[in-house]
A and B are shown apart, each in its own frame.
Chain A
Amino acid sequence: MIRVTGLRLMKAGRAICALEALEIAAGERLLVGGANGSGKTSLLRILAGLEPQFEGQALGLPERRARVLVHQAPYLFRGDVAGNVALGLRARRLARDEQERRVEELLRAFDLGDLARRSVTRLSGGERRRVALARALVLDPELLLLDEPLADLDVAGRTALEHVLAARPALTVVTASPVAMPAFLAARAIRLG
């Protein structure tokens, strides 16, 4: 259970994110809605640990390495698709064949098998999104933070994400989006602002 109270993030003298209280149960699928500039992305960044300067309390967060944020416009590192997906795993103490098995599993889940060796400079927007999702989910996180995850996904990509999340009932997923999201991302919704 993640418990957030009295949260405030100041940037240049202005509160860009403010939230009185929020509880997120383990395995919950929570949608954070609200207008542009209401602080959705900031909330995700605070939960991801990318904004250490926030005021207030956020208790019960999993350890740093068990939380992953996928940006609204994901950044892929130079190299190929498989290299990007494998990158984070290499930082964790896992047997090599276990790493390979996981990478392959996630590539297949997001229908990236044929693109494994393709350079990231030659991917479409939807393909980039799928690589970023695979790269985050391959780490088997406890908390997954998604900023506008469906923006450039087609129906197949959306279905793939739904299947992957359905297979991970213990994973807590917090999604930020100003528009409605399908039920697999929004079992519950809150509004900021």
Chain B
Amino acid sequence: MTLFVEGFREALRLIAGGDPLVLDAAWRSLWISALAVLAAGALGTLGGLGLALLRFPGRGLLIALARAGMNAPTVLIGLLGYGLLSRRGPLGSLELLYSPWAVVMGEFVLALPIVLTWTQGSIRKLDHRVFETAITLGLRPWQRARVYLSEARLAIALAFLTAFARCFTELGIAMMLGGNIKERTRTLATATALETSRGDFARGMAMSLLLLLIGLIITLGLGWLNARRREEEE
């Protein structure tokens, strides 16, 4: 028990004192996940809109793939990414392995199915009058797309936040594609794993406390969005 108490006390001291290594990992976790979610969000929103509105061969398969992809293990994404980016892989010449960009790419793959599936689902679930009103008012296709996204915006915002939470806390991709290099690719999750295995329990605790704290903020945001969505549906 003292291990926890001591660890907790030390963790608070490290965070409050602004330990450079802790802050460095926290900042990297933030910008890597944010970038991955922004890119996946842009593509996923447009793709989800297309999957919801267009009829084309292979559409059902794509939706099923995206749904399955929501539960893809991060180590699998890490493994496939490693195969692509390692020196002998097809993208090896880019020399991206063990760079933060490799982690961004992996987390992009993690986030994309979440945004795709949620956007597609939320647009399919819109009131049928939304589509009919847009058609009967003679809106142009881009105007219609904007109206649909605007009507589904809360569900899509939820998808962005969920994807961010997933990327921010994941370990497998950051470990396998980033390599946990100090001050270069170390994230809060990989740092926690490292410090704990090294026996520096307090540092591990500090890292995961920060993870928890930011996760908590995201959860509060999710709850707030959900409450607003329910309010609007009534």
- Cβ-Cβ contact count across A and B, 8 Å cutoff: 53
Quick check: A77 and B132 within 8 Å, CB to CB? no
Stretch binding the partner chain, chosen from A84-92, A100-108, A181-189: A84-92
Interface SS of B by simple majority? helix
Q: Does A135 contact B (CB under 8 A)?
A: yes
Contacting pair B136 A87 (CB below 8 A): no
The answer to whether B147 touches A77 (Cβ under 8 A) is yes
A56 to B208 alpha-carbon distance, docked (Å): 68
Chain B nearest Cβ from A64, distance in angstroms:
7
B139 CB-CB contact with A under 8 Å: yes
Once the chains are docked, how many angstroms separate the CA of A48 from the CA of B150? 25
| CA distance in complex: A79, B136 (Å) | 19
What's the minimum C-beta distance from B87 to chain A, rounded to whole angstroms?
A: 51
Contact of B138 among A50, A64, A71, A74 (CB under 8 A): A64
Q: Count of chain B residues with Cβ under 8 Å from any Cβ of A?
A: 17
How far is A130 from B143 in the complex, measured between Cα atoms in Å?
A: 23
CB distance from A135 to the nearest CB of B (A): 7
Bound CA–CA A41/B64 (angstroms): 36
Please give, as numbers and ranges, the residues of chain B lying within 8 Å of A77 by CB-CB distance.
130, 133, 147, 150-151
B37 to chain A, nearest CB (A): 24
Known interface pairs A75-B129, A77-B147, A90-B143; A50-B135 also in contact (CB < 8 Å): yes
| A-side contacts of B139, CB under 8 Å | 87-88, 91
Considering the complex, which residues of chain B in the window 124-153 have a beta carbon less than 8 Å from any beta carbon of chain A? 127, 129-130, 132-133, 135-140, 143, 147, 150-151, 153
> Chain B: which residue is nearest A92 at the CB level?
B138
A128 contacts B by Cβ under 8 Å = no
Among B127, B137, B139, find the residue whose CB has the most chain A CB atoms closer than 10 A.
B137
Check A65/B138 contact, CB under 8 A, given A78-B151, A87-B143: yes
- Interface members, chain B 76-95 (any A CB < 8 Å): none
B130: which A residues are within 8 A, CB to CB? 75, 77
A68 CA to B136 CA, complexed, in Å: 5
Q: A88-B138, A121-B232 are in contact. Are A75 and B150 (CB under 8 A)?
A: no
Instruction: Categorize the interface residue count of chain A.
Output: 20 to 34
**Contact code string A66-77 (vs B, CB < 8 Å = 1, else 0):** 011101011101
Query: CA–CA, A23 to B138, complex, Å?
Result: 25
Residues from chain A with a CB closer than 8 A to the CB of B232 are 121
Which residues of chain B are near A67, meaning CB under 8 Å? 136
> A139 near B: Cβ within 8 Å?
yes
Please give, as numbers and ranges, the residues of chain A lying within 8 Å of B147 by CB-CB distance. 77, 87
Residues of B within 8 Å of A49, CB to CB, are 135-136
Interface pair B138/A139, CB less than 8 Å apart: yes
Which residues of chain A from 111 to 152 have a CB within 8 Å of any chain B CB? 121, 135-136, 139
- List chain A residues, Cβ under 8 A from B143: 87, 90-91
Contacts of B138 in A (CB 8 A): 64-65, 68, 88, 91-92, 139
> Could you pull out 24 A-B pairs where Cβ atoms are within 8 angstroms?
A50-B132, A50-B135, A50-B136, A67-B136, A68-B137, A69-B132, A71-B129, A71-B132, A73-B129, A74-B129, A75-B129, A75-B130, A75-B133, A77-B147, A78-B153, A79-B150, A87-B139, A88-B137, A88-B138, A88-B139, A91-B138, A92-B138, A136-B137, A139-B138
8 closest residue pairs by CB, A with B: A88-B137, A75-B129, A65-B138, A69-B136, A91-B140, A91-B139, A75-B133, A78-B150
Binding site for B on A (CB under 8 A): 48-50, 64-65, 67-69, 71, 73-75, 77-79, 87-88, 90-92, 121, 135-136, 139
